[in-house]
Structure 1
Amino acid sequence: MAQSGLTLDNILSGHRGTLKTAATHAQNKELSLEARVFEALAAAKIWTSRVAMHLNDDARRRYFKQLDRLHDTDEWAGEEFPVALDSYKGFIRFMLLTKSDSKPGLALSAKGNLVAVWQSGEDRLTIEFHPEGSADWLVSRKLEGLWERAAGNSTIARIPEVIAPYNPKVWLEQKL
């Protein structure tokens, strides 16, 4: 894998890789919706295959299954976009960075950003991964009988640090 430049260090530091053609076509409105979805899914799965040695098989299969469900265009309404490859890469970077085996629910924003949601009881962590390597995060947690909510935007690498006061282990170390 050294030839492709996709080492774990490069993945975690935000190395973008070389799958720009499919990702660019996936956001191209001139293509049919089906073609854009096919291109986006193919780009995400090809990229995943290049970093598969860093993911366990269960996680890889689960992410593929969730991506396929998210791209069921019969469920789409309006001008939605398929997953942006760099947003998906950010999610994988986060999961590898935190060494999490948790199983977040995944969703797509209307712009094609991947949104991951972890829930433990009533407590929730939501992260929207942006293509440029940043992410919006939202924590909603009941601590000492009171609801605390916090939100922000930061680089993916800083998220564990900025949400640390909310004990993210309840989400990231959870095995469902």
Structure 2
Amino acid sequence: MSNQLIQVRSGVDFSSTSISHWPNQMSYVTGASPDLSTASPQASITAWPSEMSWNAISDDTGRLVKEIGHLLQHHNSPAFLSSVSREMSVGERLFDATSAVKVLTAQVAMHMSSEWRDKLFSQIDSLHGLEEWDADDKPVERSSFASFLKAILYIRPQRYPGLGLSYDGNLVAAWTTGQDRLTSEFLARDRVRWVLTCNINGETERSAGETVVSRFYDCLAPYNPTRWFSREQNPYNHA
């Protein structure tokens, strides 16, 4: 994997997409490079009341989110548990990172469909493919992946995102429906940075922002996020 690009493996067809850059040099996947200089800061943090507000989160979902946080704090990676102190090879680093996020996923896998779980595991394997890996690239960070899992539990999307990695090892998830695109970088400590472009009443709107994962759906509410997450309201059916 080149230092200028991120890998993308998903059920979404990204054959016509281009690679653009966040201001902090994070690579992300999108079909058109949104002009962040024209994005309204007010629009990026405006949240309308929605069914995904914190008060509407079920006790079960809240418990799962806390469980992921607990696992992140108390479950060490295979490399950390090794009694041998030495520099790992590229293959070992990739195996270690893949195992760590799969263990994290397995703890909540019973709350996902088998189709979702298998798809996610397959995408993780593709992201860390040794044959296309550059020694200077950074595998996915467990803290970033934990934030992604929490967002999935909050939103319960029906459609799979395309997945990629930033230069810092943060997980990047992209949903595309026609010309409507949502790209999200999941950060440590339950935070997510996002950029979107969509058509509203014949006009193209762009917005970007950063929030906690529990407020992610609320921040997307003005743009009808079901266009990205729901199969029923997705006429393109790329999932």
Q: Say if 1:23 and 1:43, in contact at 8 Å, map to a contact too.
A: no
Q: What's the CA shift string for 1:10-31, capped at 9, x where partnerless?
A: 3324624122334868xxx932
Alpha-carbon distance between aligned partners in 1 of 2:109 and 2:119, rounded to the nearest angstrom: 13
Matched, 1:71 2:128: yes
In structure 2, list runs of 5 or more residues that go unmatched. Answer: 1-59, 232-236
The structure with more radius of gyration = 2
Q: In structure 1, the residue corresponding to 2:154 is in which secondary structure? A: helix
Alpha-carbon distance between aligned partners in 2 of 1:59 and 1:154, rounded to the nearest angstrom: 25
Alpha-carbon distance between aligned partners in 1 of 2:178 and 2:90, rounded to the nearest angstrom: 37
Alpha-carbon distance between aligned partners in 2 of 1:157 and 1:9, rounded to the nearest angstrom: 10
Alpha-carbon distance between aligned partners in 1 of 2:79 and 2:61, rounded to the nearest angstrom: 22
Q: Say if 1:16 and 1:86, in contact at 8 Å, map to a contact too.
A: no
Alpha-carbon distance between aligned partners in 1 of 2:118 and 2:215, rounded to the nearest angstrom: 27
Q: Once structures 1 and 2 are overlaid, which stretch shifts more, 117-126 or 42-51?
A: 42-51
Could you tell me which residue of structure 1 aligns to residue 65 of structure 2?
Answer: 12
Aligned letter for 1:104? Answer: P
Matched, 1:132 2:169: no
**More RCO (CA 8 Å, sep 6+):** 2
Could you tell me which residue of structure 2 aligns to residue 54 of structure 1?
Answer: 111
CA shift, 1:120, in A, is 0.4
Alpha-carbon distance between aligned partners in 2 of 1:138 and 1:149, rounded to the nearest angstrom: 7
Alpha-carbon distance between aligned partners in 2 of 1:153 and 1:24, rounded to the nearest angstrom: 31
RMSD of the TM alignment (CA)?
2.2
Could you tell me which residue of structure 2 aligns to residue 44 of structure 1?
Answer: 101
CA shift, 1:71, in A, is 0.5
Q: Percent identity?
A: 34
Matched, 1:159 2:213: no
CA shift, 1:45, in A, is 1.1
| Normalised TM-score (structure 1) | 0.86
In structure 1, list runs of 5 or more residues that go unmatched. Answer: 1-6
CA shift, 1:74, in A, is 2.4
Q: Once structures 1 and 2 are overlaid, which stretch shifts more, 62-71 or 87-96?
A: 87-96
Q: In structure 1, the residue corresponding to 2:95 is in which secondary structure? A: helix
Q: Say if 1:123 and 1:141, in contact at 8 Å, map to a contact too.
A: yes
Q: Say if 1:79 and 1:110, in contact at 8 Å, map to a contact too.
A: no
